[in-house]
């Protein structure tokens, strides 16, 4: 029997050069706003907020846990590449057809579409 459970959360990944990204965005904001002098701190603050928001959304990862023949598989997926899958689509213990291809796990959703995940852990 295959059952699914849900979990989500950020895992740490190496950060790109955020300072440089913020600097470039602040410069873009400066140019877009007509090169108004004296707004350096305001432009920097806006740029920092935008970059951190984008970085957080881009690096947030989610996982689904599926049990197959007594082994739990943790499959990680990115929400922006999940075909609209939302955590909570499966309840703990729901039967879910699953297929494996190398390090990939495909969980068939109630819609018939597959949620493609990368296996990041096997337990049992």
Residue pair 85/115 in contact by the 8 Å Cβ criterion? yes
Where do the domains of the chain lie?
A: 2-11+60-123, 18-59
Identify the pLDDT of residue 35: 94
Beta bridge partners of 75: 64, 119
Instruction: Indicate the pTM of the whole model.
Output: 0.54
Per-residue confidence in pLDDT tens, the chain, 124 aa:
455 544 444 444 334 588 888 999 999 999 999 999 999 999 999 999 888 887 776 666 788 999 999 999 999 988 877 888 888 888 888 888 999 999 999 999 988 999 999 999 999 8
Sheet holding 98-101, edge to edge: 94-95, 2-8, 62-68, 71-77, 114-123, 104-108, 98-101
């Amino acid at each position: 029997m295959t059952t699914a459970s849900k979990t989500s959360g950020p895992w740490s990944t190496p950060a790109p050069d955020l300072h440089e990204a913020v600097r470039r965005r602040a410069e873009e904001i400066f140019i877009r706003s007509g090169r108004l002098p004296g707004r350096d701190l305001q432009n920097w603050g806006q740029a920092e907020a935008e970059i951190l928001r984008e970085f957080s959304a881009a690096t947030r990862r989610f996982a689904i846990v599926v049990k197959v023949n007594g082994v739990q598989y943790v499959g990680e997926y990115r929400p922006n590449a999940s075909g609209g899958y939302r955590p909570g689509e499966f309840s703990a213990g729901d039967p879910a057809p699953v297929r494996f291809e190398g390090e990939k796990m495909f969980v068939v959703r109630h819609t018939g579409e597959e949620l493609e995940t990368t296996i990041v852990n096997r337990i049992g």
